[in-house]
Amino acid sequence: MSLPSTEHKIDKMIDLLVKNATVVVPGPKIASQVGVTRFAVSKWVKMLRGLGVEIRGHMGTGYQLMKIPDILVPSLIQGELGASEIGHAIVHHFRIDSTNTAAMYLAQEGAAHGTVVVAEEQTAGRGRFGREWHSEKSSGLYLSVLLRPLFSPAAAPILTLMAGVATQQTLGALTGLSVDIRWPNDVLVNGKKVAGILTEMNAELGRLHAIVLGIGINVNHSEMPAALRPIATSLRIESLRTWSRVQVCVALLKELERHYHLLLEKGSAAIAERWASASSYAAGKRIRVVNAEAESFVTTTGIDPTGALRVRYDDGREEALVAGEVTEVK
Ligand code: BT5
């Protein structure tokens, strides 16, 4: 079970401070407009400061926001999204075990297509096969998108590729960095992982009830934990500057919306085509593949509309991989 989401009233307080960013807002005025006690206001201000939000003053003098905070509350994101379906409902958590767990739970409770769960910190962020996803507080983007597509469960891999293309496009356009995608779910900068995707679904034979696309992006980490340093990086490490997570989030949700419509209108071949032009892994790449059965060394030859990676063995045999751990062989 996940923790309760951020109280709507905290978001209302942030919204009030943002709208009055140039002035000092008296504490009692905030309390009455938001509809909470003064004690709650000072407690929330303290918590926001702990997340790096610069707020000057105290209850007696009033509060002033020193700059627009980079926290992922709905009031700062939704205004930028227009009529997008993805993100029309945003559930924000300051701290949660995993946004994917929360989104799967909301899916069972009947949450609508396009609902997004986002967190400032995950205490049990997950990768595939139960692996851990390092989710440092306030540095990364941890979000899960709930989709209710009218596809069969067989469409899940193409949705993972769709999320990869949307993430690659977002990060490339925003930062100017050269961003690659490694099949099936890694987004790379300079050969290191800057983002990962975890697709989970709630399905029965032939019928997909809900799919959750979990996306984790390393944005402002000044360094990665030692164990991850050889394989992981952040936008900040690569570009030597920090980025607005709110801006990354808005741009990502828009790209997801755009690519989801492309998938609905043009089909999975259109996504596979985009993926192939965004990834250096799509063709002609020498890779090592590890899966449950074995390790093999192959060369990639293309991507199927189903999302499978076509590879050629050294004996000339060809195969389409549906799962596996891929690394480049140099
Ligand atoms: C993934 O798994 O890459 C999927 C990551 C999905 C994370 C998002 S965050 C929002 C949503 N909520 C969740 O709980 N999860 C999703 P996989 O391909 O299995 O890669 C996991 C491996 O990547 C780990 O075993 C580490 O080696 C490495 N890793 C862990 N944390 C990392 C990080 N922050 N950046 C780069 N690599 C990391």
Summarize pLDDT for 94-134 with one digit per residue, the tens.
Answer: 999 999 999 999 999 999 999 999 999 999 999 999 999 99
Chain-centroid distance, C-alpha 252:
8
Mean pLDDT across the stretch 308-313?
97
What is each CA distance from 133 to 2, 9, 232, 238, 270, in whole angstroms? 17, 30, 11, 20, 30
Interval between CA 232 and ligand 1 midpoint (Å): 10
Please give the Cα distance from 57 to 50 (Å, whole number): 15
**Interval between CA 45 and ligand 1 midpoint (Å):** 31
Residue of the CA atom closest to atom 33 of ligand 1: 134
Give CA–CA dist 169/176, Å, rounded: 10
Whether the CB of 228 sits within 6 Å of ligand 1:
yes
Of the candidates 156, 157, 169, 159, the one whose C-alpha atom is nearest the C-alpha of residue 278 is 169
Predicted confidence band of residue 141 (pLDDT cuts 50, 70, 90): very high
Q: Which residue has the tokens 């009529």?
A: 83
Residue 211 pLDDT more than 90?
yes
Residues 37-64: tens digit of each pLDDT: 999 999 999 999 988 899 999 989 999 9
Residue 4 confidence (pLDDT): 59
Instruction: Indicate if ligand 1 lies below 6 Å from the C-beta of 157.
Output: no
pLDDT in tens, 231-254: 999 999 999 999 999 999 999 999
* 127 CA to centre of ligand 1 in angstroms: 4
Ligand 1 mutation target, pool 93, 96, 120, 133, most atoms within 8 A of CB: 133
Q: Are 327 and 287 in contact (CB under 8 A)?
A: yes
Cα of 126 from ligand 1 centre, angstroms:
6
- State mean pLDDT over 257-272: 96
pTM confidence score: 0.95
Is the Cα torsion angle 130, 51, 239, 82 positive or negative in sign? positive
Burial class (CB in 10 A: 0-12, 13-18, 19+), 56: exposed
Instruction: Indicate which residue's Cα is closest to atom 20 of ligand 1.
Output: 127
Looking at residue 239, its pLDDT comes to: 98
Q: What is the mean pLDDT of residues 12-31?
A: 93
Q: Tell me the two tokens of residue 264.
A: 């609905």
If pLDDT is split at 50, 70 and 90, which confidence band does 2 have?
A: very low
Alpha carbon nearest to ligand 1 atom 27, residue: 228
Report whether residue 74 contacts ligand 1, using a CB cutoff of 6 Å.
Answer: no
* 74 CA distance to ligand 1 middle (Å): 24
Mean pLDDT estimate for the chain: 94
As a whole number of angstroms, the distance between CA 186 and CA 164 comes to 7
